[in-house]
Amino acid sequence: MMLQGANDMHFRMRGFIYLFCTLLLFGCSEDVDNSVTSTDQAGHSIGKKVSAPVFQSISVTEVYKLIEQKTDLSLIDVRTPQERKQMRIAGSRLVPVGDVIRGKVIFPPDKPVILVCAVGGRSYIAGKALVSRGFSRIYNMDGGIEAWRRAGLPLERGPEPALSASSEQKSKQVQ
């Protein structure tokens, strides 16, 4: 019995260290200026502004409006399957935060990606990871699914329908 408690503590400590290191790696500041000045081959500024990747937090009401407008976007839930079973946003896809950080999932480069977690921390980290790999339109849902629930926005609950074999093959590539 004591061995089980020690294993649980070790597992939690590893998780904390992983999260802490990830935060240090990707930083905690939001990008404000979405443009950069391009340079020539010698590294001199040529004064031309080019668009940099967009990464920002947006409110649950903004996310809801985008979904209602049927905007072509990917709504990605980075929580655990157990958390998702409790409540989720209709149309969202489960991609655990670790898979996003490790680059195990392919996101469409032409679609904005909105990331959702419980309160906004894991989705923020996942967003920073995607931006560092060159994805251009990444949004963090501020306050996570808890803010969505508190706003009284619609949620699905319980187990999700089973995936067909062809759906499982597509699960590595987010639509």
Quote the CA–CA distance of 172 and 175 in Å, as a whole number.
9
Which residue intervals of the chain are DSSP H helices? 2-26, 60-68, 81-86, 97-101, 121-132, 144-150, 165-170
Show the domain range for 13.
1-30
Same domain? For 13 and 83 the reply is no
Look at residue 17 and tell me if it is in a domain: yes
Quote the CA–CA distance of 55 and 114 in Å, as a whole number.
10
Same domain? For 150 and 69 the reply is yes
pLDDT at 12: 54
Residues in the chain: 175
Same domain? For 18 and 88 the reply is no
Contact at 8 Å (CB) between 142 and 151?
Answer: no
Q: pLDDT-derived band of residue 79, with 50, 70 and 90 as boundaries?
A: very high
Look at residue 46 and tell me if it is in a domain: no
Same domain? For 133 and 85 the reply is yes
Quote the CA–CA distance of 162 and 105 in Å, as a whole number.
20
- If one counts the domains in the chain, the total is 2
The residue with greater pLDDT, 154 or 27, is 154
Same domain? For 24 and 72 the reply is no
Query: Tens digit of pLDDT for each residue in 39-48?
Result: 344 444 444 4
Q: What is the mean pLDDT of the chain?
A: 76
The residue with greater pLDDT, 135 or 167, is 135
> Looking at the annotation, which residues are catalytic?
117
Q: What percent of the chain has pLDDT over 70?
A: 62
Same domain? For 21 and 61 the reply is no
Relative orientation angle of helices 121-132 and 2-26, to the nearest 10 degrees: 50
Residue that is written with structure tokens 């809801």 in the block: 64
